[in-house]
Structure 1
Amino acid sequence: MPPEFPSAREPVTFAGGVLDPYRHVCAFVDAPWVDPVFDPFIADGVERGDRLLYLVDPATSAAPVNRLRRLGFDAGALLEDHRAEVRTWTETYLRGGSFDQAAMLDVLDEVLVAQRSPRIRMLCDMGWAAGRADLDALIEFEARANFIHAQHDHLVICSYEATKFDGAFVVDILRTHPMVLIGGMLQENPFFIPPSEFLDERDARAVS
């Protein structure tokens, strides 16, 4: 029998920090799902009765499930009970063959705002964006996603491999996440800019 769901506002720890009140994290890691920094966060979620939602590369869709097994959980039962779910980039970020930020914001709204319980721990492999020409759209999306994240108590971690992106992109991505994981430690992000201010700044830059 699964444990009782926690209070929607019960704080959660990740990598030595507390994910409350900010629950939108930019994580710079060498490899999503393989980095052991995620293991306690995932195990804690299962034990508390939270729901795990992975957004992954179709080529590595089995990796989160295998990781759950290595952590000692019955991955098949978690999937069957909808306490763990794996969605691929082609079902989410790249649905329709390309990135449409409006469509992906709708996905977040549907998945996170419309589903209040149990609490979701959403882990997003952002590797699909590496080498793409439309990164401005992704930066704007990450900023606008904060408006959605302010409406729920779920936990969202966006994992980037910094070596696959240029410095200007990394700086802007930092400015769109209130929490950041660097060097295996979570901290409140000093570079974060509230989304309205960030988007106004970008609009002003575009017309100047």
Structure 2
Amino acid sequence: MVTDNGDDVVTFAGGILDQHRHVCAFVNWQDEDLAVLDSFVRQGIESGDRIVYLVDPADVAEPVNRLQHLGYDAADLLNRRQCEVQSWADTYLNGGRFDPDAMLTLLDRMFDDQDSPRVRLVANMGWAIGEPGLTDQLIEFEARANFVNLRRRHIAICAYDTAQFDGALIIDILRTHPMVLVGGVLQENPFFVPPAEFLRQKNLR
């Protein structure tokens, strides 16, 4: 099955990711949420896509364990770079702090090669918990990330643990993602504001 632009269909949590491939996934890291992510990863591996995890440095073994749990030879996938695990320290918090411009550049580079396999990025956003003064930077980053995704066929799943983020931030995070996973159900996000408009509104505050 292919979309109108000739790209094969990508599904996530039973829904189709076609025009919009920047997803906010509200998760609690329990079995039902992990099963949704596992299905997305399995589909990617079977399709020849490249899986990239961005995780807590303390949890870099967890994606490897999940791959083994799914029945894959994790070492082989990592050696062939079909799967890759990067820590927050090498991505979002490279240099010891969050630099939105640097992270957007990294994403652009990661998604740049049109001849490479499609990337399925699964980003644990827990790095932002408790970071002082980070809210505005995070929200602006998520809005600007849409410009990167719009030019690419890759998929970015931003996983937020709702128990760890306050309600006001979650509302703003919702406004920056065209697709949202809530309660295990994927849907187009009615609260989404197109990035140019969102950034204009933010600058007028």
Which TM-score bucket, shorter chain as reference?
A: over 0.9
Partners of 2:115 and 2:126 in 1: how far apart? 28
Amino acid at match of 2:11: T
> 2: CA distance between counterparts of 1:94 and 1:165?
18
Tell me which stretches of 4 or more aligned residues in structure 1 moved more than 3 Å: none
Question: Hey, what's the Cα distance between the residues in 2 that align with 1:10 and 1:25?
Answer: 18
195 and 65 in structure 1: CA distance in 2 versus 1, 3 angstrom threshold: same
Matched, 1:197 2:197: yes
Distance 2:113 2:145 in 1: 15
- How far off is 1:32 after superposition? 8.1
Q: Percent identity?
A: 55
**Hey, what does 1:165 align to over in structure 2?**
165
Give the residue type in structure 1 aligned to 2:196: S
1:114 Cα deviation from its structure 2 partner: 3.5
Q: Between 24-33 and 9-18, report the one with greater CA deviation.
A: 24-33
Match of 2:26? 28
**Aligned counterparts of 1:117 and 1:182: Cα–Cα separation in 2:** 31
RMSD over aligned CA atoms reads 1.5
SS in 2 for 1:113: coil
Correspondence for 2:7: 9
The reply to whether residue 52 of structure 1 matches residue 57 of structure 2 is: no
How much does 1:28 deviate?
0.4
Closer, same or farther in 2 for the Cα pair 1:180/1:8, shift >3 Å?
Answer: same
| Aligned length in residues | 199
Cα-to-partner distance string for 1:107-133 (whole Å, 9 max, x where unaligned): 011101245420110000000001112
Taking the aligned partners of 1:41 and 1:132, their CA distance within structure 2 comes to 29
Residue type of the alignment partner of 2:174: L
Partner of 2:163, secondary structure, is helix
Matches for 1:107-126 after TM superposition, within 5 Å? 107-114=106-113, 116-126=115-125
Q: Is contact 1:113-1:148 (8 Å) kept?
A: no
Q: What SS is found at the alignment partner of 1:73?
A: coil
Task: Report the TM-score when normalising by structure 2.
Answer: 0.93
